Amino acid sequence: MRLHRFGVTAAVLGTVALVPLTAHADEGSGAIRYINTVTLSDDLSFGGFTVGGLSGIDYDTAKNSYVAISDNRGEEGPVRAYTLNLPIRADGTLGEPQFDQLIPLRDADGNPYRASTSDTESIRWLPNHKGFLYTSEGEASVGRPGFLREANLDGSYVRDVPVPAAFTPTLDADDALISGIRDNLGFESMDLSRGSSSIVAMSENALVQDGPAATTDAESRARLVQIHRNNGTDLAEYLYPVDRVSPGGVAMATGVAEILSLDDNRYLTLERGLVPGKGFTARVYETSTADADAVTGVTAAPANAEPMQKTLLFDFASVGVDPQCVEGMSWGPTLPDGSRSLVLVSDNNFGLAGKTAFHLLSVPADL
């Protein structure tokens, strides 16, 4: 999410406060427990560039290493990812992050990305630490599609994973967007299946042809897609109900920020919002495709298609913690009490709004 794209400035954002989201979902189960937050200094630099814009994170259990990606579009140094360590202290709390490596990402021609040609958002390790998969939202306003891209450990290009045509932004003769992902509401979220054979990704809000973006009066039907990682087959597509915009909130900042696989049809989703003058909101849901209608290969989803069901598991407002502009979410190591750790990272928008913060949550091992 790039705040400057829709006119949000630090002055407009104002003093941060916790604002409950308006949601139409089951009440929170209390299954997820907040542990602590570590916030980075605004002027922290690594590898010669300011650390900022962190919008995706993932953990490699075998290597005990994280990878994080910045949504810098080449305007704040190179388009890049980082490897880092997030230590868990003996008392089960999160320690100070330790950055290990800056990885400049390269385009399909093997060159550093030119400014404003990518909007990298989510990142996942590939099996056996052989590289990583990352997304770009693209830029729908000029017809530039988002992508799912594999890279080597040094950031060099490997290949693009095919994306169903319904997600491709299409402009009419007057350059109005008539189908595909909305501008700045594309592939913010992505994960590999538990066996790593498929990829799941979701638009942040509805595709243009599937319905309107979220408003204060109505939810939005984001589209989830499952793609075979090796051959690019479109395995399945479903609709997901994105929360309404909070009263006074920014519609273009409301949406699905990340997704994590629980099993073949259950996921955790992270929804994030923004209310200028008050601050950011963030909730974690459990959702399932089990009772949803498939819209696989359908250009425009039927209005009566049954969406995925979701249950609220955690709301930062419920514990009085400022989530900042939280955008990345990953499993972490097992905690001392046997629960699973869930790590979230926030995008500081390079000083425009918010802080870079790492949040540690505890999730029951049997979820």
Give residue 340's identity as a one-letter amino acid code. R
Residue 23 included in any domain: no
Residue 14 included in any domain: no
pLDDT of residue 343: 99
Residue 145 included in any domain: yes
**Do residues 306 and 330 lie in contact, with contact meaning Cβ atoms separated by under 8 Å?**
no
Quote helix, strand, coil % in the chain, to nearest 5: 10, 45, 50
pLDDT of residue 30: 65
How far is it, in rounded angstroms, from Cα 254 to Cα 238? 19
Residue 310 included in any domain: yes
pLDDT of residue 21: 34
How far is it, in rounded angstroms, from Cα 273 to Cα 206? 16
Residue indicated by tokens 């002055």: 11
31 φ, ψ to 5°?
-70, -30
Q: Using the 8-state DSSP alphabet, how is residue 180 labeled? A: S
Residue 89 included in any domain: yes
CATH assignment of the domain containing 54: 2.115.10.20
pLDDT of residue 22: 32
pLDDT tens sequence across 76-89: 999 999 999 999 99
Spell out a b/e string for 73-89, using b for 16 or more CB atoms within 10 Å of the CB, else e: bbebbbbbbbbbebebe
How far is it, in rounded angstroms, from Cα 19 to Cα 70? 26
Instruction: Count the neighbouring beta carbons within 10 Å of the beta carbon of residue 118.
Output: 25
Residue indicated by tokens 């006119």: 7
345 φ, ψ to 5°?
-130, 145
* Domain range enclosing 268: 45-363
**297 exposure class (CB count in 10 Å sphere: 0-12, 13-18, 19+):** exposed
pLDDT of residue 9: 53
Q: In whole angstroms, how far apart are CA 357 and each of 36, 104, 183, 321?
A: 10, 22, 26, 11
Residue 287 included in any domain: yes
pLDDT of residue 19: 38
245 φ, ψ to 5°?
-70, 135
Nearest to 318 by CA among 93, 87, 23: 23
Q: What is the CA radius of gyration of the chain?
A: 19
How far is it, in rounded angstroms, from Cα 234 to Cα 185? 21
What is the mean pLDDT, run by run of 10 residues, along the chain of 367 residues?
52 43 42 97 96 98 97 94 98 98 98 95 96 97 96 98 98 97 97 94 99 97 98 98 95 96 97 92 98 98 98 97 97 97 97 93 96
Give residue 97's identity as a one-letter amino acid code. P
Residue 35 included in any domain: no
Sign of CA pseudo-dihedral 302, 303, 309, 315: positive
How far is it, in rounded angstroms, from Cα 365 to Cα 33? 12
Report residue 114 as tokens: 């030119």
Decide: pTM greater than 0.85: yes
Residue 276 included in any domain: yes
* DSSP-assigned states of every residue in 79-131: SEEEEEE-PBPTTS-B---EEEEEEE-B-TTSSBPPTTS--EEEEEEPGGGS-
Domain count across the chain: 1
Enumerate the H helices of the chain as residue ranges: 10-13
